[in-house]
Amino acid sequence: MLSAPSAPSSLFPSQPHASVNRLLLLLLCSSILQGCSPQAVNFPFDPGGRSLNSNFSDLQPRISGRYVVFVSDRSGSQDLYLYDMVMHSLVDLPGLNAIDMIVSSPGILKDGRLIVFAGSREGRSSIYLYDRTTRQLRNLTENLRAEVRNPTITADGNTIAFESSANGQWDVVLYDQDGQPLDALTNPR
């Protein structure tokens, strides 16, 4: 008859110090596992007392270069916010957020100049492009009679892709930054 091999006596000795050795082994394993747990990052507050994180719903963060763009309801409506990770502060976006618009799905260029997002006003969805340099907000899909969602922008800022229901299904559509449709098959960029 075969018997099961026994554990080495050095791991689980039967001496009175066995419980101390087990405790030390447990503490060692516990400290190793604690090093694997995720750590929360605390972002500092800017001079205005604002920070990246808040007690409100901060949603859909997108990061590019030194910037994080996200949606939050911290002002009482669903607005876009921009956080500069180098300066550790929120960036003002004059002319962007409006009380009558619900925003979603933001995207940003690496240099932080252009922000693209989906916005809904009076039940109609559109794709918007905000230029931080000129402080201009443009509705790129103003003439498109369809639901739109999930915009993204190329690294050079020349092409915006989004989903459109114009053909009775969700199709990917490409526009330039002036709001002109691009033919993906014959004019790729």
Q: Which helix (H) or strand (E) holds 159?
A: strand 159-164
Give 137-146 pLDDT, tens digit per residue.
999 999 999 9
Residue 44 has pLDDT above 80, yes or no: no
Give 47-76 pLDDT, tens digit per residue.
555 666 677 678 899 999 999 999 998 878
Q: How confident is the model at residue 154 (pLDDT cuts 50, 70, 90)?
A: very high
Query: What is the rounded CA–CA span in Å between residue 70 and residue 95?
Result: 17
pLDDT of residue 162: 97
Domain boundaries, the chain: 58-182
How much is the mean pLDDT over the chain? 80
DSSP string of 53-108, one letter each residue: --SS-EEEEEEETTEEEEEE-TTSS-EEEEEETTTTEEEP-TTT--TTEEEEEEEE
pLDDT exceeding 70 applies to what percent of the chain? 68
Q: What is the pTM of this model?
A: 0.71
CATH of domain 58-182: 2.120.10.30
